[in-house]
Structure 1
Amino acid sequence: MKVRQDAWTEEDDLLLAETVLRHVREGSTQLNAFEEVGDRLNRTSAACGFRWNAVVRHNYEKALQLAKKQRKQRQRLLGKDQGGKKKLLYTPPVELDATLMEVTPPVTMEAAGELIPDIPEEKEQFDLEKMVEELNAKTAANQHARFAGSEVQYGYSRQAAPQGLTMQAVIAFLQNYDSTSVHAQALKSENERLKREIANLKKQNEEMEAKIQDLEQNTGVIQEDYETLLKIMNKARKLVLFEEDERPATTFKMDRNGNLEKVAE
């Protein structure tokens, strides 16, 4: 099977994806990213845009959405004056060797815009600062390794892409980061609830201890009153028995009719 000499390789697709995502994330345009990739790969920006929309973009849809969310968050941090302005990250070289120029018609902004449909941004907000720093650092290292030590074109050299970082790994990291953040927030809320519950239980425990102390004091007073009452009752009972012992026995006699009459003492 014959392979075209100008066919796109996996390294070219990876370079195109990383460049587009970097431009979108940092507030630039996809057209500017296509110009940068076109100069690096000796292709036109229109060819890069067609390759992105036809093949590469479908594999990086989630990463593109995350890059747009990050750009939106960056614009909020910078404010409307600075965040709302487009910042082109790449400036094409002014003077180029005539032998390196491709005989292709120039691409206008309107024509390139038709190749780059906008994707609606979701309203969710993510804290991606840590991920962004890691991705930027690894992307810079990948680009440095890719374009060092090979045949020079337009002032750079191409090399096989490193296998350390893939966009699938980045997407998986972001999804896991999102679920971990939600889980951590739930644990934090549960922790706060348990702290409030413990504080309420401590307060109830202190109130119960105070009531127990009052009951113990009242029990002592009741016990003393009870013992005093028992002494009074015993003394009264003894007095009654003593009076009954000293009282003389009553004598009765029966009359003719059988009635009992008390005999006077």
Structure 2
Amino acid sequence: MRQDAWTTEDDEVLAEVVLKHIKQGSTQLAGFNEASRRLGRTAAACGFRWNACVRKQQRQIIEIAKEERKKSKSERVQAQMEGGDLDHPTATLMSWAQVLRFLRQEKNTAQHWASRWRNAERQCNEWKARFKELQEEHGQIREEYMQLKHDYETVSEDYKALVQIMERARKATLLDGGELAQGFMYQIDEYGNLERVEHEEPMERAE
């Protein structure tokens, strides 16, 4: 790619190419690409030169080229309405057959997405119903768990109390020398304490 300064001849070639593309309804970028090949410079350099210098010099000619482009476009539209070449790459108007074909395609696309939407909505409702069932099941299991926990705590407390009572009874049955006491009876007071009841008549040994 060239790195030298732009000459008057280079500016003329750039203007000629870009104006041609404007008249034909093409883009300035396409003109920069063509000018790049002809001048041996990058398309970016051509674009920068055009915007910085050449465009200001060719302002009136650019307006004329735009008017010619509008006129040419209007003529193509008129030709298409009168049965011209609809497959031309610059065609801008569709025939009724093309319009109908386009609308059918859009209808099929809309029906396809509507079907997918209905399926997604149905699946969403199914998952909502399943979630509700699991939520209710979870609630029931939680209630059962809380009831079992309460029962376990109650049984555990009763068991501990029973063990304590049995331990107090065991200690109360032993004398200081280790012999079993005879003729005794125990009762539990209102506070859960074990107390010994003495009897005048001898009783059988408590096992």
TM-score (norm 2): 0.39
Question: Computing the radius of gyration over CA atoms, which structure comes out larger, 1 or 2?
Answer: 2
TM-score (norm 1): 0.31
The higher-RCO structure (CA 8 Å, 6+ apart) is 1
